[in-house]
């Protein structure tokens, strides 16, 4: 019997290992794995070069090459110059290629990239995307060290580094510039640190061009390039980040705040400060946000211009805040449709923050307003498909509805926005306002923005980004297309304050139909071509090119409550070059790229040609131009491709991993199959309904079946062990009873001590 019990214990242990059921373990920073071995390496033939993924005993990512990121931001007035250094190491015994998908600000103009290999520097060259990729692939085949920097979205980039030798470190350094436009008198510098898990819609898989965890679909044909693997709970890749921001405001700083991180702040003068992350807050799982306020003089109109070195013209950035108009005697009644993102990526702290903001919004409606709430995930659910009067009873009804919202499923955003835009109006005297509260983590953002631009009508769309790693590019684009105002609320900020600012803007007069008369100054390629409406506290910001130096007074004209209003501003385009604003041409080019890609009247071919020309002329990364760097001396055996190692990323702070991917185990194929993690194909459960996307990764299915069989065996063995234990107890007690009869006349006397 003891032998059978021992066999049962061994079998149970083996069943646990075979089934993939994780044992409880403390969170740990992993990074001490032995070199590659057959039981640790999974090679996926679907990925370019054969992707290498290293798994631990809990199927946790263990050893990946991105070791450290260092960010050095130098902010001078309204311009930020940022250098990002990514240190890649190879801890393995074979040559690898590292692929890292990472975010940058949506308006970042990336104008430099270079590789540091020991004391050698290899500078990147800007080429068309196809040429850069071909150059990189050729170098990879020839065994040469090479780096490739590509743009996937306005705020998502991919860094590839080929032929990293065992034990070697290669640092990739990139630089970008962007302008900081103050709003409500506050300047904001934001640096995103992680690409959140994107929801990928579509009806079928169409291939896999990248190293991501989701196949490309008919709706998102590059899904595999924007879905990096996500670390499961309790694991770390060993990657950390350091960030230092040196601020020279130019005017006395009256307030300085970092709501997202623990930082050390050194004030060297009343106009300067240095902000650095504290050593214990270096996990790259949330946006870094720095805000400051200066005295009123810094919000005065500003013209930043740079004359070209080889001509009479140049480029400029104009920022001006129109004079405040008097408030209206009465506030125009509004009809607000609150769209609430209840998808899996909002699980955890984001939905709690959103609900708090929603409760405040409902409780502060005006009595002559109307409202309704529409929650969406894979499907839509209305509080009422007709806006309700803001009575106390209807507000209580709305609060109960909001409190009952639960998160699950996908992020079918367009279905909800389309339903809201086409909802019937109850009173033509009310203005239609749509408030979209979301983290924006979708892969088809361009399609959603384009459709909003097409059917907006007389409504206004106000996007609220809620979370630690919001898709700020989508929030900005939706605000522009929806003629609204973008707001981002981090998890450590007050959502109620953001809602109050939203209501204040709606109650304040709006400057519409804005035009700029440049007088005798000759300008061209002004962006944005159609100046958006300005809300109270917003600054007018435009970039452009000028043909020659000169001075004149420009006239900015608009309408307030339908009445024309004009204000004037003296402007001088410099005749001499000034290195202080050397970044302005690069910023102009980046803004032009954004304007072209958001011009939905242009054909795709015309957009590509115009953007490519800008990228090559101004040496910036765009959707159609990339940086490539190649060290000409081969370091690996030519013809032998390195193993590809996709770098996993953290789940954004506050987001529930289970809410996005389901419970760990079974290869992550839990409740939310629309977001996939390591080695998972596309498809899965949407709110309890099985949805097929054509092709599922057969390896994932096979592993899932093996795990299920292992779990079944485990259950049978546990049951057998319990039965064995019961039988053992029964037999033991029978023997004891046989050796010790009950007390009575026939009972043996107790032993005595002599």
Has residue 253 been placed in a domain? no
Would you state the pLDDT for residue 62?
Answer: 54
CA angle 486, 491, 492 (to 5 degrees): 110
Would you state the pLDDT for residue 23?
Answer: 34
Has residue 686 been placed in a domain? no
| Confidence label for 436 from pLDDT (cuts 50, 70 and 90) | very high
Q: Give the CA radius of gyration of the chain.
A: 30
Has residue 595 been placed in a domain? yes
Q: Does 410 lie in the same domain as 307?
A: no
From its phi and psi, is residue 525 left (phi > 0), alpha (psi between -120 and 50) or beta?
left
Has residue 480 been placed in a domain? yes
Q: Does 320 lie in the same domain as 356?
A: no
Number of structural domains in the chain: 2
Final residue in a domain of this structure, among 594, 618, 642: 618
Residue written as token pair 């498909």: 385
Q: Does 567 lie in the same domain as 486?
A: no
The CATH number covering residue 587 comes to 2.60.40
Q: Does 599 lie in the same domain as 535?
A: yes
Q: Does 446 lie in the same domain as 351?
A: yes
Q: Is the pLDDT of residue 54 over 60?
A: no
pLDDT digits (tens, 9 = 90+) for 319-359: 998 877 666 666 778 999 999 999 999 999 999 999 999 99
Q: Does 362 lie in the same domain as 404?
A: yes
The CATH number covering residue 358 comes to 3.40.50.410
The mean pLDDT value of the chain amounts to 83
What are the structure tokens assigned to 541, written together?
């910001």
Q: Does 495 lie in the same domain as 454?
A: yes
Q: Does 541 lie in the same domain as 465?
A: no
Q: Does 386 lie in the same domain as 310?
A: no
Has residue 707 been placed in a domain? no
pTM, two decimals, is 0.82
| Confidence label for 115 from pLDDT (cuts 50, 70 and 90) | very high
Would you state the pLDDT for residue 195?
Answer: 97
Contacts with 345 (C-beta within 8 Å, 6 or more apart), sequence order = 196, 197, 199, 411, 439, 441, 655, 659, 660, 675
Has residue 517 been placed in a domain? yes
Buried b (16+ CB within 10 A) or exposed e, 26-37: eeeebeeeeebe
Q: Does 613 lie in the same domain as 560?
A: yes
Summarize the confidence of residues 437-451 as an average pLDDT.
96
Final residue in a domain of this structure, among 600, 618, 636: 618
Has residue 712 been placed in a domain? no
Q: Which range, of 92-106, 208-222, 263-277, 712-726, averages the lowest pLDDT? A: 712-726
Q: Does 518 lie in the same domain as 396?
A: no
What percentage of the chain carries pLDDT values higher than 70?
A: 80
Would you state the pLDDT for residue 327?
Answer: 63
Q: Does 423 lie in the same domain as 393?
A: yes
| Confidence label for 299 from pLDDT (cuts 50, 70 and 90) | low
Final residue in a domain of this structure, among 603, 618, 633: 618
Has residue 159 been placed in a domain? no
Summarize the confidence of residues 439-462 as an average pLDDT.
96
Q: Which helix (DSSP H) or strand (DSSP E) does residue 41 occupy?
A: strand 41-44
CB 294 within 8 A of CB 251: yes
Summarize the confidence of residues 703-720 as an average pLDDT.
65
Summarize the confidence of residues 437-462 as an average pLDDT.
96
pLDDT digits (tens, 9 = 90+) for 147-180: 999 999 999 999 999 999 999 999 999 999 999 9
Integer angstrom CA distances of residue 512 from 121, 344, 503, 568: 51, 38, 18, 17
Q: Is the pLDDT of residue 424 over 60?
A: yes
Structural domain harbouring 555: 297-326+511-618
Q: Which range, of 306-315, 607-616, 721-730, averages the lowest pLDDT? A: 721-730
């Amino acid at each position: 019997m003891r032998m059978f019990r021992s066999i049962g214990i061994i079998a149970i242990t083996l069943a646990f290992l075979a089934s993939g059921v994780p044992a409880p373990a403390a969170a740990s920073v992993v990074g001490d794995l032995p070199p590659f071995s057959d039981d640790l390496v999974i090679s996926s033939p679907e990925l370019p070069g054969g992707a290498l993924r290293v798994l631990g005993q809990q199927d946790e990512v263990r050893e990946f090459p991105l070791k450290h990121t260092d960010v050095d931001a130098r902010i001078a007035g309204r311009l930020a110059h940022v250098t990002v250094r990514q240190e890649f190491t190879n801890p393995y015994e074979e040559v690898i290629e590292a692929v890292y998908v990472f975010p940058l600000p949506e308006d970042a103009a990336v104008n430099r990239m270079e590789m540091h290999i020991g004391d050698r520097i290899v500078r990147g060259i800007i080429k068309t995307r196809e040429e850069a990729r071909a150059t990189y692939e050729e170098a990879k085949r020839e065994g040469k060290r090479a780096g490739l920097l590509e743009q996937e979205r306005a705020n998502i980039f991919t860094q590839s580094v080929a032929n990293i030798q065992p034990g070697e470190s290669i640092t990739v350094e990139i630089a970008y510039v962007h302008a900081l436009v103050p709003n409500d008198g506050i300047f904001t510098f934001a640096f995103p640190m992680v690409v959140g898990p994107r929801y990928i819609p579509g009806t079928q898989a169409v291939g896999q061009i990248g190293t991501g965890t989701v196949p490309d679909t008919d709706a998102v044909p590059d899904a595999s390039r924007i879905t990096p693997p996500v670390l499961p709970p309790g694991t770390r890749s060993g990657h950390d980040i350091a960030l230092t921001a040196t601020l020279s405001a130019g005017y006395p700083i009256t307030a300085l705040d970092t709501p997202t991180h623990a930082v050390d702040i050194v004030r060297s003068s009343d106009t300067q400060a240095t902000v650095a992350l504290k050593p214990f807050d270096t996990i790259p799982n949330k946006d870094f946000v720095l805000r400051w306020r200066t005295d009123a003089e810094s919000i005065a109109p500003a013209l930043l211009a740079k004359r070209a070195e080889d001509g009479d013209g140049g480029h400029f950035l104009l920022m001006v805040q129109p004079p405040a108009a008097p408030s209206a005697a009465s506030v125009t009644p509004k009809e607000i449709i609150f769209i609430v993102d209840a998808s899996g990526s909002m699980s955890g702290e984001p939905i709690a923050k959103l609900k708090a903001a929603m409760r405040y919004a409902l409780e502060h409606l005006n009595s002559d307003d109307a409202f309704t709430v529409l929650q969406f995930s894979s499907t839509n659910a209305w509080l009422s498909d007709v806006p309700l009067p803001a009575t106390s009873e209807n507000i209580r009804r709305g609060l109960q509805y909001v409190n009952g919202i639960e998160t699950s499923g996908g992020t079918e955003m367009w279905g909800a926005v389309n339903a809201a835009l086409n909802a019937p109006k109850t009173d033509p005297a009310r203005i239609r306002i749509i408030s979209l509260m979301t983290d924006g983590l979708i892969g088809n953002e361009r399609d959603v923005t384009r459709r909003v631009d097409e059917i907006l009508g007389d409504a206004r769309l106000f996007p609220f980004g809620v979370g630690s790693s919001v898709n700020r590019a989508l929030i900005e684009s939706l605000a522009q297309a929806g003629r609204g105002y973008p707001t981002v609320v981090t998890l450590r900020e007050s959502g109620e304050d953001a809602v109050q600012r939203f209501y204040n803007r709606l109650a304040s007069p709006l400057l519409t139909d804005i035009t700029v008369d440049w007088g005798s100054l000759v300008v061209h390629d002004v962006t944005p071509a159609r100046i958006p409406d300005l809300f109270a506290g917003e600054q007018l910001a435009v970039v452009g090119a000028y043909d020659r130096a000169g001075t004149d007074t420009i006239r900015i004209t608009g309408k307030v409550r339908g009445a024309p209003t004009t204000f004037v501003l003296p402007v001088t385009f410099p005749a001499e070059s000034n290195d202080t604003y050397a970044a302005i041409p690069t910023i102009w080019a980046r803004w032009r790229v954004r304007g072209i890609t958001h011009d939905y009247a242009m054909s795709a071919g015309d957009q590509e040609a115009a953007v490519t020309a800008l990228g090559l002329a101004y040496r910036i990364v765009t959707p159609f131009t990339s940086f490539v760097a190649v060290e000409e001396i081969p370091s690996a055996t030519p013809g032998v491709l390195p193993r590809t190692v996709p770098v996993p990323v953290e789940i954004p702070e506050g987001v529930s991993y289970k809410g996005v991917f389901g419970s760990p185990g079974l290869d992550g194929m839990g409740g939310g199959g629309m977001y996939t993690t390591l080695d998972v194909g596309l498809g899965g459960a949407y709110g309890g309904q099985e949805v097929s996307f054509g092709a599922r990764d057969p390896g994932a299915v096979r592993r899932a079946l093996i795990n299920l069989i292992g779990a079944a065996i485990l259950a049978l063995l546990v049951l057998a062990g319990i039965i064995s234990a019961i039988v053992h107890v029964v037999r033991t007690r029978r023997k004891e009873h046989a050796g010790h009869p009950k007390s009575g006349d026939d009972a043996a006397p107790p032993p005595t001590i002599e």
